[in-house]
Amino acid sequence: MKLKLETEFQDTEIGKIPREWKIKRLGHIVKYVKGKKPSVLFDERLSEEFVPYLTADYMRGLDKPKWCNPKLESNIIRVSRDDVIMIWDGSSGDVFTGFDGILASTMIRIMPSIEVNKKFLYYYLMVNFEKFRSTTVGTVIPHVNKKVFEESPIPVPPLHEQVRIAEILSTVDRAIEVVDAGVARLEGLKKALMRELLTGRIRVREENGKLVFNKETEYQDTEIGKIPKGWKIVKLKEILILRNGKRPTLSEEGWIPVYGANGIMGYTTDFLIDNDYTVVIGRVGASGEVRLAQGKIWVSDNTLYSEKYDSSKVFMPFLYYLLKDKKLSRFAHKTTHPIITQSFLNDLPIQLPPLAEQRIIADILLTIDGAIELYHKEKDMLGRLKKGLMYVLLIGRVRVMED
């Protein structure tokens, strides 16, 4: 296929579109049916016949599915992976495809006529979902305005061009899925390595330029449990000095990052600390969240930070991963505003391997985090590419032609 910059347009109610394209109303080119909740749902998939109940949270990846046996139900709506689904009730307007299961009662399945490609329709609705979300009706449970939905205009290219547009955008989506799968694999690997290396169950050392891993067999009992012989238990105050952050003055011209409990919250022109590494710990708000910063930074007053540390005892990136693994938020005082105190952290006992082993463990985890960050940058680039392509292809600024 070839891409061609369009030069001949017609004026329409949605703006300029190519001359041979048509404008149709959604109500004229689609039918839709609302889902129904099955009479019985199960927490587990009891057999291969069971399929998921497609709720919004499940499709967004926020919840585990409930399961249904479609052979035992009579009034359900079954959807397949090529169907277009829209949330009709509640957080309405979002559009999905690629799911197989039973349609939730808050959803509709949209079935286009033969002149409209399903994937093309999906991408066009995805671009315009905010229109349906902003025009909902109903007070207790808002839902898509039926009149707005059915009377919404949609540009309709020739069917063969719709197919090509959908193919291009689907290719980008598949690339994003590959990136997401790569991130998931690396996150799983990182989690497993942190569990084994930070507890000393698996030891690591460097020999002749190669990393050698072995299972630990000799332990000592300590106040925080079993740790390898040769490791030490120290209190945090023995290896670093913690200070409270200070209220920052943010600046649009600033270049020095300001760290709050949730990470970088802006930039300023002055710095509070300038160390090779600084561990920043959420004090209030996101209590117990841990960040690792380098160089000149400012640290907000809702955090604690390491002002000084003993580099002969601790490698700060190792300490960063160790504190993250301890999930400090569970120690926050149970008040209206949970808080991690400096006195608590000062007396917190932690395990420390020999310094050389700390460096190796931290380097392994930093390498994985670096690879994850590259994936995130690639996904961001693909997301911008998809957004740009959707804009020019779905309104015909750029045409997709046969070779």
Domains by residue range for the chain, with CATH: 1-21+157-202+354-403 (1.10.287.1120), 24-151 (3.90.220.20), 232-352 (3.90.220.20)
Query: Exposure string (b/e) for 277-305, b if CB count within 10 Å is 16 or more?
Result: bbbbbbbeebbbbbbbbeeebbbbebbbb
pLDDT at res. 287: 86
Task: Give the DSSP H/E element, type plus range, for residue 290.
Answer: strand 290-299
Q: How far apart are CA 42 and CA 27, in angstroms?
A: 36
Query: Exposure string (b/e) for 315-334, b if CB count within 10 Å is 16 or more?
Result: bbbbbbbbbbbbebeeebee
Q: How far apart are CA 154 and CA 164, in angstroms?
A: 17
Q: Considering the entire predicted model, what is its pTM? A: 0.85
With beta carbons less than 8 A apart as the criterion, state whether 165 and 120 touch: yes
Task: Give the DSSP H/E element, type plus range, for residue 349.
Answer: strand 349-352
For residue 16, give the 3-state DSSP assignment.
strand
* CA dihedral sign of residues 192, 197, 200, 204: positive
pLDDT at res. 264: 95
pLDDT at res. 93: 78
Q: Per-residue pLDDT tens for 134-177? A: 888 887 888 999 999 999 999 999 999 999 999 999 999 999 99
Q: Are strands 232-235 and 290-299 parallel, antiparallel or unpaired?
A: unpaired
For residue 164, give the 3-state DSSP assignment.
helix
Residues of the chain with pLDDT under 50: none
Residues 6+ apart with CB under 8 A from 264: 257, 258
Q: How far apart are CA 99 and CA 393, in angstroms?
A: 25
pLDDT at res. 226: 94
